[in-house]
Amino acid sequence: MDILGIFVEFESSLSRECQSDGIAGAKATRQYKGKAPLKQEIENQVINLFKSVIKQVDIISQVGVGRTSVHSIFRAAGLK
């Protein structure tokens, strides 16, 4: 089992290295832009809904953004 684990770890490290090389190359040619930032009005809407004591699940469904985006907005605003 230990030898198999070594091969799996080696292969996954090669995969990560290849992926990071690809991203670095794409960034160099300006093809990789990453995730687009949320609009300020959406962030303000999430913050206002949270301040009016609405549950996070309801905020996610009303605004239409993901759970991690909502948590990132809270963290940036210092709410949680």
Q: Tell me: the pLDDT tens digits for 5-53?
A: 888 999 999 999 999 999 898 888 888 777 778 899 999 999 999 999 9
DSSP letter assigned to residue 55? -
pLDDT classification of 63: cutoffs 50, 70, 90: very high
Q: 73 with 47: CB under 8 angstroms? A: yes
Burial 15-41 (b: 16+ CB within 10 A, else e): eeeeeeeeeeeeeeeeeeeeeeeeeee
Q: Residue 59: its pLDDT value, please?
A: 92
Q: Residue 51: its pLDDT value, please?
A: 92
Distance CA 3, CA 71 (A): 40
21: which 2 tokens? 């090389």
